[in-house]
Amino acid sequence: MTAWTLYDEALAHRTPYDLVLRASDGRRWPFPVSSWCATVNRSDRALIARCTGPTLDVGCGPGRLVAALAGRGVPALGVDPSPAAVRSTHARGAVALRRSIYDRLPGEGRWNHVLLIDGNIGIGGDVPRLLARVGELLGPAGEALVEVHRSDTHEVLDVRLEHPDGRSGPAWPWARVGLTALRGIAAGTGLRVTGHWRRGGRRFAVLAR
C-alpha cells in the first residue's frame, strides 16, 4: 500500500467518500474527498477569478478547479501523483498529468499562475523546497495562489490517511502553514506575499517575485 492507495479507492468509488488525516500525535482532520469531487463553491470561484492566463494546479485532485478554469476559457493543467485523480480530472473534460511537482513539467518558467490549494502547501513537509520549485514554474510576472491555514501556525508532522473501515496507510511528512510563516518562508525563496484574503472560512495568499 502506498500513501495514496486509500485516496485512490475513495476517488474511484461510485460515490466518493471522505477519509481522515491522522497525525502521529493523535490529532485528526477531515480529508474531504467528496467535497473535492463536487463542483466549485463560492470561495473556489473567488480564487479562480484571479486566474487570467495559463494556470497550473499542483495536486489537482479530481479536477474541480482545472475543469472550472477550462470552462472559463482559461488554459489550465492539473498535475497529481494519484492515477484516480487524473482519471477523474479527465472525466470532467479537463487536462491533467500523473506527475509530481518535482518532475519535469510543461511550460516551466512560463506559467501565469500556479495553484497550491486544499492543503497542498504542505506537500512533502518541505515548504521552502516547494516554493522554490513554484518559483521555477512561474513566468517572470507570474503569481502563485496559495491556500494557507486559517491560524498563524507552522508545523511539520507525519500523517497518514485512515479509511472509515479502520484501515490506514503509511505515514508521510506534511506541513501546516499560516500566513505569517508563509511570508518568512517565501522571502527565502525569492517570492513575497503581495496580497491575501479570506472567503468561506478559508484563507488565501498571493505570492510573486
Per DSSP, the residues of the chain read --TTHHHHHHHHSSS---EEEEETTS-EEEE-HHHHTS---HHHHHHHTT--S-EEEET-TT-HHHHHHHHTT--EEEE-S-HHHHHHHHHTT--EE---TTS--TTTTTEEEEEE-TTGGGBTT-HHHHHHHHHHHEEEEEEEEEEE-SSS-EEEEEEEEE-TTS-B---EEEEEE-HHHHHHHHHTTT-EEEEEEEETTEEEEEEE-
Predicted pLDDT of residue 133:
99
Measured distance CA(96)–CA(121) in Å, rounded: 19
For residue 4, pLDDT over 90 is answered with no
Res. 1 pLDDT band, cuts 50 70 90: confident
Task: Compute the average pLDDT of residues 13-24.
Answer: 97
Predicted pLDDT of residue 2:
84
Task: Compute the average pLDDT of residues 70-86.
Answer: 98
Task: Compute the average pLDDT of residues 171-196.
Answer: 98
Predicted pLDDT of residue 3:
81
Predicted pLDDT of residue 103:
98
Task: Compute the average pLDDT of residues 97-113.
Answer: 98
Q: Report the 10 Å Cβ neighbour count for 42.
A: 9
Pick the closest to residue 146 from 108, 118, 106, 174 (CA basis).
118
Domain assignments of the chain as residue spans, ordered by start: 5-208
**Model confidence over 34-63: pLDDT tens digits?**
999 999 999 999 999 999 999 999 999 999
Write the CATH number of the domain with boundaries 5-208. 3.40.50.150
For residue 120, pLDDT over 90 is answered with yes
pLDDT, averaged across the chain: 97
More confident residue, 62 or 4: 62
The reported pTM is 0.97
What percent of the chain has a predicted confidence (pLDDT) above 90?
98
